[in-house]
Amino acid sequence: MTTAAVRPAAWDRWENRVQTSAHPVAHRLLRAIAARGPVVRVPRVGVVVSDAALAREVLCDTTHFTKTGPGSPADLWTPVLGPSVLLNMEGPDHAALRRRLSGLFTPGYVAALCERVLAQPLAELTHRLRSGEEVDLVRVAQTCAGAAICEIVGLPVDPRRFATAHAEAAEVTGMVRLWRHSMTTRQVARAREVLGRLTASAVTAYRRGGEETLPGRLRALGLSEEEARGAVGAFLLTGTETLVSFVPRLIAICHDTGRLDGLGDGTADLDAVVEEALRITVPSPVMLRSVARSAEIGGVPVEPGDRVVVATLLCAQAYGPFAPELPHPPEVRRLWFGAGPHFCLGMPLAMAQIRAVLTAVLAAGPTDVTGRRTARRVLIPGYARLTVKLRSAS
């Protein structure tokens, strides 16, 4: 007697397509590696960790694992952003800068920022859906991300600038590849050109000072002009793509699992659904570290200079299919935003933006996904197009 194979659910099939469209080789490679064990040494790639508890140990242990050694984020971002931008810092200097930035994304500031820059595009989104239009949520998310970029770099909030601002930031992140430890000389030059153009207004806002802009607030927190410009660049690269990638995938997963209506009528726990969708999609599918001192990861010895690839996507997805009713165990909780001293500083802003866009969609009424196309060869997996429309009364 043979047992019929279990066919993946619609949400699972689409999420697999999203991942393989973005990284056709790397995603399949990581899955094959993880099947061999929780910690596997792979030539040219590094030591791949796909167990959540071990991943958290690595991310929290800054004595043995660093963001500044060979194969670490420093190799990617220091030539582009400079040496002092949290992304590529470790030790006392990192701790000191993080302390100075700790009050940056307070609940009050985040709420005011979302109201200031997202109110108009999100009101338009709700209106268009209520009017019966088919709306591409990817374009909406790009507009919202562009609005946040303009706010972060101190540009006037001008809707005509939003799409360009997002496209420029996405060009830089799109240069990163898992198997390359650093960017090419040409890529570094192009990334510096793009970010220089994006952050030029941040310098002006920094010099002007005042609490009404992020660069002005960085000055008030005691950052130098160079540190503030680097911080602004880092926020652009790490924060904007989360919104564009995640919101359409969140809506798609909720639609495919029949939970979108429950969110709309209040019978589903919005926060639990968002957190569970983050576990399934993982905004940072991979995190990199370099070994600073001899150690072991799950019994596998590692030596200084080894590259550690923390496969956060596989760590999180190992806990089963989409199930918002189940609590996250401690080892996996918000692992997609990091752990320990490098936990994502901009997480409150990302979560506020996500909730704002989701609320605007739900405010229109019962909505269905009407079409979708996955994005190809991008750093953060997502949809290139995902259209939604208000459900017909008939």
Give me the domains of the chain, ranges plus CATH numbers. 10-390 (1.10.630.10)
Higher pLDDT: 76 or 384? It is 384
**What confidence score (pLDDT) does residue 393 get?**
56
Q: Which helix (H) or strand (E) holds 73?
A: helix 73-81
Q: How many CB atoms lie within 10 A of CB 220?
A: 11
The two structure tokens encoding residue 331: 């080892």
Element (H, E) at 38: none
DSSP run (H or E) holding 17: helix 10-22
Q: What is the pLDDT of residue 2?
A: 36
| Model pLDDT, residue 5 | 43
- Residue 265 pLDDT > 60, yes or no? yes
pLDDT tens digits along 48-95:
999 999 999 999 999 999 988 888 877 877 888 777 677 777 888 888
**Environment class of residue 227 by beta-carbon count within 10 Å: exposed (0-12), middle (13-18) or buried (19+)?**
buried
